[in-house]
Amino acid sequence: MCGIVGYVGSKQAQHVVIEGLRRLEYRGYDSAGIALVHSVDGRGAIASDKKSGKLANLDKAITESPLPESTTGIGHTRWATHGAPNDTNAHPHLGRDSRLALVHNGIIENFAELRAELEAEGHTLLSETDTEVAAHLVERELTDGVDLTVAMQRACQRLQGAFTLVAVDARDPDRVVAARRNSPLVVGLGEGENFLGSDVAAFIEHTREAMELGQDQVVTITREGVEVTGFDGSPAQGTRYHVDWDLSSAEKDGHDWFMRKEIHEQPRAVADSLLGRRGTDGLLQLDEVRLSDDDLRDIDKIIIIACGTSFYAGMVAKYAIEHWCRIPCEVELASEFRYRDPILTQSTLVVAISQSGETADTLQAIRHARLQRSKVLAICNTNGSTIPRESDAVIYTHAGPEIGVASTKGFLTQLVACYLLALYLAQVKGTRFGDEINEVMDQLDEIPAKIQAVLDAEAGIYELAAKYVGTKSVLFLGRHAGYPVALEGALKLKELAYIHAEGFAAGELKHGPIALIEEDLPVLCVVPPRGRDQLHDKMISGIQEVRARGARTICLAEEGDTAIVPYADVLITLPKVPTLLQPLVATVPLQLFACELATQMGHDVDQPRNLAKSVTVE
Ligand code: M6R
């Protein structure tokens, strides 16, 4: 939620900041703003502009009324929490004397009390935001004669909640100061210039050298260097790292949407996430797992926590873990987890799944688990983000940056990581023989080509999507590992096309949802592969039941499944894969369907209304 950029160097800060915001816009797009430090008659001054709506509105405004030249600036793209998304509430906010400009991501929980304190001192606050309170607080410290770094440290000691703050001081034009608590911020390290960003996309065009910061730290960037301290002023260190993707990964590559590009990147993303997992001894190795095999052997319960699409990856993981490892596994929404007083012990493994690694609900859930001494393993796509940093172990997915707000390659690579974890636990616990594990690994190695085969048939899905423009409601049915796929298909349609969509376990139909079936209602059915269990045949019974009541059935079934033909109004064929791995191929047509339907309906696929990519507030 919210994208933040800071820059000091020798380039025109306006350009660096606006381009940085463009790459961060997926984090929030209710309003955008910029502040630059410049000089008027030899005295420093702040020049700023901000506009409600997308970054394009701000871009237009500063093209029509250009800001002064400056090499120091900050910028913000907002996902509104406190106050409506209008010009006044947009960031940056200024202090009482307009000496300081500040941008913010997060929620300052004690803002009402601080606002009352400031107002009692005669401050007039113009907006409804918690951010303006922080701007006045930091500027109040500045007027005490200290520099911006100390002013920020002092102000942060008064703040409660989660925040990233970035500020500039008109009287100190070569310095940008930021602070973070429970909210993302990374430093970009350049030559004669330095950067701040909510994530590395903000500055990837300029440098791939980055520094991650710890909790409760203040960072000061100048042209010459970077200094990190605690909120109390004590010296601290950031951790340097090299970003292993480049500008081209952050661009659309000829596609109309990042989402479509990311869907098409899935064969490579899945292949990359599988790379290097089999050792020369034939054993599966997950080198990022910092828990010992003994620790893992002692695990007697697994709880998976996640939100949204990542939660559905967790649902698939449950099937794999219980089947291959025989360890009881629960899957829980991170936002519910700590409020139900979960039973956690030292032998519970909590698996947190998060593409961004910054989701506030998931972060708070793992903190709760660690307080109860449970071990935490993160499955994450973002190096250096908070959730993996606060976990005992991490399996990184290698999807590359996911910019479309709707998760696609993030989901498929999370599935891969879940399968790998399940197989690894099976190896450590001895619940599967080595040749069984190898057989599944061989099947996984074939998946990228199978996803490609689904993508090669995209034209058929697009034709189908075009027929459903204007449809009011769509149902999705699945069983077993196909049930989370149905939920994911419905979520994609809701978030992109704003169509009412529900996913159901097909066996539940008769217990209520079948009442929703009416003439011509589209029902997308994820048909399990034919196997020794009865899943396939039971699914066909469910499909017959909805068809008998007038539904139009769009069935996703494996090639050669002739049994489904009489019951499918539309048949989408999937490559043959085992039931547990079917989500890796069955999800792809549903992603394409939602992306195309939303496109045909004229929606902004990459930035759907009311959403933001990473939900950093609870
Ligand atoms: O970054 P995370 O994986 O923790 O994010 C979780 C959800 O917010 C995310 O999956 C969300 O549901 C997406 N918009 C789904 O497309």
Q: Which residues are catalytic?
A: 2, 613
CA-nearest residue for atom 12, ligand 1, is 308
User: Is there a cis peptide before residue 85, judged by omega within 30 degrees of 0?
Assistant: no
Which of the residue ranges 26-40, 163-177, 280-294, 318-332 would you say has the lowest mean pLDDT?
Answer: 280-294
Q: Which of 445, 460, 494 is the last residue of a domain?
A: 445
Q: Are 552 and 520 in contact (CB under 8 A)?
A: yes
Mean pLDDT of 245-264: 87
Whether 87 and 233 share a structural domain: yes
This prediction's pTM: 0.85
Distance 360 CA to ligand 1 centre (A): 11
Pocket of ligand 1 contains residue 310 by CB under 6 Å: yes
Classified as helix, coil or strand, 7 is: strand
Q: How far is CA 47 from CA 14, 70, 71, 559, in A?
A: 11, 9, 12, 62
Q: What is residue 602's predicted lDDT score, i.e. its pLDDT?
A: 96
Whether 216 and 270 share a structural domain: no
- For position 532, which CATH number holds? 3.40.50.10490
- Going by C-alpha positions, the residue among 87, 420, 85, 81 that lies closest to residue 277 is 420
Mutate to test the pocket of ligand 1, among 395, 615, 617 (most ligand atoms within 8 A of CB): 615
Q: CB 364: neighbour CB atoms within 10 A?
A: 18
**Counting Cβ atoms within 10 Å, is residue 361 exposed (0-12), middle (13-18) or buried (19+)?**
buried
- For position 225, which CATH number holds? 3.60.20.10
Tokens 């994609």, residue located: 492
Q: What is residue 99's predicted lDDT score, i.e. its pLDDT?
A: 97
Distance 311 CA to ligand 1 centre (A): 8
CA-nearest residue for atom 11, ligand 1, is 308
DSSP assigned state of 474: E
Q: Which of 445, 464, 494 is the last residue of a domain?
A: 445
Whether 250 and 266 share a structural domain: no
Whether 412 and 464 share a structural domain: no
Whether 194 and 311 share a structural domain: no
Distance 496 CA to ligand 1 centre (A): 13
Pocket of ligand 1 contains residue 379 by CB under 6 Å: no
* pLDDT band with cut points at 50, 70 and 90 for residue 323: very high
Whether 347 and 481 share a structural domain: no
Q: Are 349 and 392 in contact (CB under 8 A)?
A: no
Classified as helix, coil or strand, 340 is: helix
Q: Containing domain of residue 346, as a range?
A: 262-445
Whether 249 and 295 share a structural domain: no
Whether 510 and 407 share a structural domain: no
Q: Is the pLDDT of residue 545 over 80?
A: yes
Distance 307 CA to ligand 1 centre (A): 6
CA-nearest residue for atom 4, ligand 1, is 354
pLDDT in tens, 361-393: 999 999 999 999 999 999 999 887 899 999 999
Pocket of ligand 1 contains residue 386 by CB under 6 Å: no
- 72-78 and 31-40 beta bridge pairing: antiparallel
What backbone phi and psi angles, to 5 degrees, belong to 271? -60, -45
Whether 414 and 389 share a structural domain: yes
Which of the residue ranges 147-151, 211-215, 413-417 would you say has the lowest mean pLDDT?
Answer: 211-215
Per the structure, the count of domains in the chain is: 3
Q: Are 367 and 390 in contact (CB under 8 A)?
A: yes
Whether 322 and 440 share a structural domain: yes
Q: What is residue 340's predicted lDDT score, i.e. its pLDDT?
A: 87
Whether 227 and 287 share a structural domain: no
Residue 435 in domain: yes
Q: Which of 202, 227, 254 is the last residue of a domain?
A: 254
Pocket of ligand 1 contains residue 335 by CB under 6 Å: no
Pocket of ligand 1 contains residue 614 by CB under 6 Å: yes
Residue 126 in domain: no
Residue 187 in domain: yes
* pLDDT band with cut points at 50, 70 and 90 for residue 81: confident
Q: Are 503 and 487 in contact (CB under 8 A)?
A: yes
